[in-house]
Amino acid sequence: MKQFLIYPGLLLLFVTGIFAGEQSAVRFSGYMFGDYYWVASHHRAEIQNSNGFWFRRIYFTYDHRISGNLSARMRLEMNSRGDFSTTSSKLIPYIKDAYLKWKINPDHQLVLGISSPPTFKFIEDFWGFRFLEKTPLDLQRWGPSREFGLSAMGTLALEGKLQYHVMLGNGSGNKSEVNPGKKLMGAIRYFPVKQLVLEVYSDWNDNSGATDWFTYQGFAGYKTERLTLGFLYSHQTRCHEDRPDENLDLASIFLIWHTTNQLTIVGRVDRQFDPNSSAAKQQYLPFDPDSKSTFFLTGIDFRPHPLVHLMPNIEVILYDSNDAGITPGPDVLPRMTFFYVFQ
């Protein structure tokens, strides 16, 4: 049924773009990335030795500049199922972004609809290799990559060195919401010098009953023309009614070295200091839910064209012993990642 609703909509957007001309400032763009992967080793025996091609993301984006201070976006996403079991599903598009943006003045803007929350929006842009892997909080499923709500962002003072991004959302990503509680998110970042940025973030997800989630995060980043360094530390408390609250801590550090205009070396290490049951549901890279873990990622990004990336890389997860004294085997995934932008 979804296809019958989405495909005519795409045709309508395409026809609108053809006849609208430059006056309406309509733009179509997108990108796609995926891998040839091999699960060389995994703590789940049924996954080990799985291999093949998949698309982890395909985006098709429609942007419309309505006026000088109003704009709108609709973005569709589709991807291969990364659960290592589904074989019959096709790539079906769904709404990823759908929002109206009002630029109040050069320093402040409001966004209404489904958009990126401040949870890891800035960090993902700073990381710059989303096609290689998600940012740590996204990878560990500490929060969704999209929220339906109202956000405000802009600069506060110090000649643009102090910036903010706050949002009031449903707390359920881009899904429907019936819970009377909402999710409040906010980030403040400061650029003491051009190359250095410091950001603090916090959120409160008012879930039903006594099951609220609280997240706190600090991030420091340093970027030059050739080198990018990033470090973050995060804490999340998940309240429960029928068992003790969960307290999760996570740290991550990454390094990106642009050796030439066509070649970049990437390295990253994430440390999950507590077992995280949510990470077992992670598509493409399910973690063991009962053990602390250390995640390693390294790869080489080769760009034969500015819009095309080819990247041999490997992801490794090492586990600590769980409460039963059992140490899960390591997860090892060599991949050849490909990324293409069309615009």
88 confidence band (pLDDT: 50, 70, 90): confident
d(CA 118, CA 137) in angstroms, rounded, equals 12
Whether 195 and 166 have beta carbons less than 8 Å apart is answered as: no
pLDDT, position 24? 58
> In sequence order, which residues have a C-beta less than 8 Å from that of residue 316 and are 6 or more positions away?
295, 296, 297, 330, 331, 332, 333
pLDDT tens digits for 158-216? 788 999 999 999 988 777 777 778 999 999 999 999 999 999 999 999 988 889 999 99
How far, rounded to the nearest angstrom, does the alpha carbon of residue 16 sit from its chain's CA centroid? 30
Q: What is the third-level CATH fold of 25-342?
A: Porin (2.40.160)
pLDDT at 5 over 80: no
Q: Both tokens of residue 85?
A: 């079991």
CA–CA separation, 10 and 22 (whole Å): 19
For residue 145, pLDDT beyond 70: yes
Q: Is the pLDDT of residue 111 over 70?
A: yes
Range 93-112 burial, b when 16+ CB lie within 10 A, else e:
bebbbbbebeeeeeeebebe
For the chain, what percent of residues have pLDDT higher than 70? 93
201: Cβ contacts below 8 Å, ≥ 6 apart? 118, 119, 185, 186, 187, 215, 216, 217, 218, 219
- Greatest mean pLDDT among 4-8, 15-19, 264-268 lies in 264-268
pLDDT over 90 at 130, yes or no: yes
Query: How distant, in Å, are the alpha carbons of 108, 222, 225, 247 from that of 199?
Result: 18, 12, 21, 22
Which residue type, as a one-letter code, is found at position 286?
P
pLDDT in tens, 230-263: 999 999 999 998 889 999 999 999 999 999 999 9
Query: What does the pLDDT read at residue 62?
Result: 96
Look at 102-116, 172-186, 316-330 and tell me which has the smallest mean pLDDT: 172-186
135: three-class secondary structure by DSSP: coil
In terms of Cβ atoms closer than 10 Å to its own Cβ (0-12, 13-18, 19+), residue 261 is: exposed
Give per-residue pLDDT as tens, 17-54: 444 444 558 999 999 999 999 999 999 999 999 999 99
Residue 127, SS3 per DSSP: helix
The alpha carbon dihedral of 287, 291, 292, 297 has a sign of: negative
**Which pLDDT value is given to residue 4?**
44
For residue range 183-192, what is the model confidence (pLDDT) as tens digits? 999 999 999 9
Residue 16: pLDDT above 70?
Answer: no
- Which is higher by pLDDT, 1 or 160? 160
Mean pLDDT value across residues 302-318: 97
Residue 239: the pLDDT is 94
